[in-house]
A and B are shown apart, each in its own frame.
Chain A
């Protein structure tokens, strides 16, 4: 029962890197073909789409400027936070499924391209705390009242990672007792 989870947060980071964002390249390059698709042509200071891993690679070499995705702005996150806050017993509100990973990646590597980076950090933390507490409360209700079936919408990958062991194993235990009787 106490198997360590097979997927780790580092894996989630890796999966989040496939996200496509806009960059302002500082170089010129033709069209490139990646597994995700075709990107480019890259023209200096014209906003172009690129996958996140590529953008970080370029950013490290100071070859581009990352444009923050639209959901990583103060206003959007504040609205999200207020939504979650106003609805403490309700379902989880839709949010980017990799929001924790992408925000931590961008804040750690490209914070100069993000306006109001510190506020965004606090906002993301607030949103995380609220969502996790909602999740925990609903999990405990589910276990206590021995619900058999549950549906979770808009759960992000990192949240899943945190609650999966506990939830699954408790449900297994209950199941086992029930089966034995």
Chain B
């Protein structure tokens, strides 16, 4: 009740209270150890060039036959590795991954709605956010592009998610990034619950789907 009144009367600015009530922020610069999405997001391959030689790590490089990784080799390392290597130790020098380069960015800026973010990387936003912690010159541009893309796509997501009669969920979501998918599901759920309430289904007891399908019952609704 308290939170409702807050929601009602105060402005919907991004304040910390919301984070406590209905939302748990999974976004953090620090890696969330147990979160699958986080793990997958940080698998983004970043092209790096070694500043120093890495001894006896030649097997990482698929093409090389040498035992060590020489200085100047270009390798695609996952983000979590690149982050620690590029940090203070400055072992590698990172550059922007393909998916976040200027051309793609321009494409996204041009027409955000029709691009297939799923193809561009199922964790485009999350990886992008993690990418922002690197010290590349494109960082601001990437951030801007991310925000702009999301803002223009959010309308589409909202419309689709609130239209519960659109049964073909797969077709809608196959162009959405993972985080967008989550947003979509959120919206869907709330509207579904509303509809259930409207039709008074939530007041009726019904057998669970699993049970219903496990045993073939004569009468469907019990």
Q: Taking beta carbons and an 8 Å cutoff, which residues of A are in contact with B?
A: 1-10, 13, 15, 97, 104, 108, 132, 136, 139-140, 143-146, 148-152, 155, 157-158, 160-178, 180-181
Q: Give Cα A173 to B11, complex, Å.
A: 18
Partner of B25, one of A7, A143, A145, A176: A176
Q: Give Cα A162 to B106, complex, Å.
A: 35
Q: Is the CB of A181 within 8 A of B132?
A: yes
Q: Give Cα A163 to B194, complex, Å.
A: 11
CB nearest to B179 among chain A residues: A173
Q: Is the CB of B161 within 8 A of A181?
A: no
Partner of B191, one of A1, A140, A162, A178: A162
Residues of B contacting A151 in the complex (Cβ-Cβ under 8 angstroms): 11-12
Q: Is the CB of A172 within 8 A of B23?
A: yes
Q: Is the CB of B22 within 8 A of A176?
A: no
Partner of A172, one of B3, B27, B157, B159: B27
Q: Does B129 interact with chain A (Cβ within 8 Å)?
A: yes
Q: Does B182 interact with chain A (Cβ within 8 Å)?
A: yes
Residues of A contacting B183 in the complex (Cβ-Cβ under 8 angstroms): 1, 165-166, 169-170, 173
Residues of A contacting B187 in the complex (Cβ-Cβ under 8 angstroms): 165-166
> 13 interchain pairs (CB within 8 A)?
A7-B3, A10-B203, A136-B158, A145-B151, A149-B11, A149-B13, A157-B8, A158-B194, A164-B7, A165-B190, A166-B162, A180-B133, A181-B143
* Given A1-B26, A181-B140: A136 in contact with B8 (beta carbons within 8 A): no
Q: Provide the B193-208 mask, 1 if CB < 8 A to any CB of A, else 0.
A: 1101110101100000
Partner of A165, one of B12, B19, B186, B200: B186
Count of residues in B whose CB is under 8 Å from the partner chain? 58
* Given A149-B11, A176-B27: A166 in contact with B132 (beta carbons within 8 A): no
Q: Is the CB of B21 within 8 A of A6?
A: yes
Q: Does B110 interact with chain A (Cβ within 8 Å)?
A: no
Residues of A contacting B27 in the complex (Cβ-Cβ under 8 angstroms): 172-173, 176, 180
Residues of A contacting B125 in the complex (Cβ-Cβ under 8 angstroms): 173, 177
* 5 nearest A-B residue pairs (beta carbon): A181-B143, A9-B197, A165-B186, A140-B155, A176-B27
Q: Is the CB of A140 within 8 A of B22?
A: no
Residues of B contacting A136 in the complex (Cβ-Cβ under 8 angstroms): 158-159, 162
Q: Give Cα A1 to B18, complex, Å.
A: 12
Q: Is the CB of B4 within 8 A of A157?
A: yes
CB nearest to A104 among chain B residues: B198
Q: Give Cα A146 to B21, complex, Å.
A: 23
Output the least CB separation between B54 and chain A (Å): 29
* Given A2-B186, A149-B13, A171-B14: A180 in contact with B4 (beta carbons within 8 A): no
Output the least CB separation between A141 and chain B (Å): 9
Residues of A contacting B179 in the complex (Cβ-Cβ under 8 angstroms): 1, 173
Q: Give Cα A181 to B132, complex, Å.
A: 6
CB nearest to B203 among chain A residues: A10
Q: Give Cα A26 to B161, complex, Å.
A: 48
CB nearest to B187 among chain A residues: A166
Q: Does B128 interact with chain A (Cβ within 8 Å)?
A: yes
Q: Does B24 interact with chain A (Cβ within 8 Å)?
A: yes
Q: Is the CB of A1 within 8 A of B150?
A: no
